[in-house]
């Protein structure tokens, strides 16, 4: 009984401490756009002798709680790397499961997203996505289109090199057709041809699971983003870890090439 009481006290104290840290964070500069590479689902499942898909399912729950917290903190946009153009190389059973997750996630979470004024967006290529995946995402986008709070942006079937190449092709076409002059081409104009044209470049990138690479994710947009890496596997990523990442961001001085 005493051990149970001590556990309860520790949990209560940790919760109180987290609320204090959240309150303090909100008094300072909160990153407007946070991007997350959600890595480690498969390894989380393997450690527990479970199928890889169990890790993806558990990771979906983490997206839900981090979305809630980001919205509470006043983050304007949260971009999560849900499925890359390279992920098609994975086993068919795993890919099929990942393609069903948007239906389950948005099917249960959409009412709360609407109530909390969250707007759902997607960036990526719809061409290869199953019809049921597209329907689930488009319904969420349509049903939240009038919301004005946090933007929850899913990078789904997304690859940054392909995005950049397509933007170059579009710029070339518009140049040839006389829509623009050569002197008009600058960073701002080029950014307007990317899938993130309506979003500010990320202020903070979080990657879980101990991997330290970008994996073809927002290569143009992350030029001056602050990076925060953790060994924690995505299904184990908590509100406390997200708060820790924001605190680290707030403790840095962003120079953007200056002094």
Q: Which of 76, 87, 147, 216 is catalytic?
A: 87
Q: What's the order of all strands across the beta sheet hosting 33-37?
A: 119-123, 151-158, 77-84, 33-37, 204-207, 226-229
* In the block, residue with structure tokens 């049921």: 132
Q: How far apart are CA 24 and CA 44, in angstroms?
A: 32
Tokens of 179: 């829509």
Q: How far apart are CA 238 and CA 232, in angstroms?
A: 9
Q: How far apart are CA 243 and CA 25, in angstroms?
A: 8
Q: How far apart are CA 86 and CA 105, in angstroms?
A: 22
| Residue 133, Cβ density class (10 Å: 0-12 exposed, 13-18 middle, ≥19 buried) | buried
**Active site annotation includes 201:** no
* In the block, residue with structure tokens 């795993």: 94
Angle between helix axes 239-250 and 2-25 (nearest 10 degrees) is 40
Q: How far apart are CA 211 and CA 183, in angstroms?
A: 40
| Residue 147, Cβ density class (10 Å: 0-12 exposed, 13-18 middle, ≥19 buried) | middle
Measured CA to CA in angstroms, residue 120 lies from 52, 76, 134, 191, 193 at distances of 27, 12, 13, 21, 20
User: Which DSSP state fits 184?
Assistant: G
**Active site annotation includes 87:** yes
Q: Which of 39, 41, 71, 157 is catalytic?
A: 39
Catalytic residues: 39, 87
């Amino acid at each position: 009984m005493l051990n149970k009481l001590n556990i309860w006290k520790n949990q209560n104290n940790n919760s109180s401490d987290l609320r204090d840290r959240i309150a303090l964070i909100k008094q300072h500069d909160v990153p407007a756009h946070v991007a997350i590479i959600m890595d480690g689902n498969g390894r989380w499942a393997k450690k527990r002798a479970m199928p890889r898909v169990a890790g993806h399912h558990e990771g979906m729950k983490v997206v839900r709680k981090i979305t809630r917290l980001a919205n509470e903190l006043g983050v304007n946009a949260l971009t999560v790397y849900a499925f890359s153009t390279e992920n098609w190389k994975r086993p068919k059973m795993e890919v099929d499961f990942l393609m069903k997750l948007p239906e389950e996630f948005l099917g249960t979470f959409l009412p709360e997203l609407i109530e909390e004024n969250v707007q759902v967006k997607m960036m990526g290529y719809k061409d290869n996505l199953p019809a049921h995946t597209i329907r689930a995402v488009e319904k969420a986008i349509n049903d939240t289109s009038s919301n004005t709070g946090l933007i929850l942006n899913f990078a789904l079937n997304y690859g940054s090199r392909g995005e950049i190449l397509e933007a170059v092709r579009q710029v070339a076409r518009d140049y040839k057709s006389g829509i623009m002059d050569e002197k008009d081409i600058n960073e701002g104009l080029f950014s307007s041809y990317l899938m993130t044209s309506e979003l500010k470049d990320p202020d903070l990138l979080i990657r879980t699971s101990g991997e330290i690479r970008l994996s073809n994710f927002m290569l143009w947009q992350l030029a001056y983003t602050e990076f925060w890496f953790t060994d924690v596997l995505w299904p184990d990523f908590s509100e406390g870890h997200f708060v820790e990442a924001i605190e680290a961001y707030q403790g840095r001085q962003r120079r953007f090439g200056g002094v």
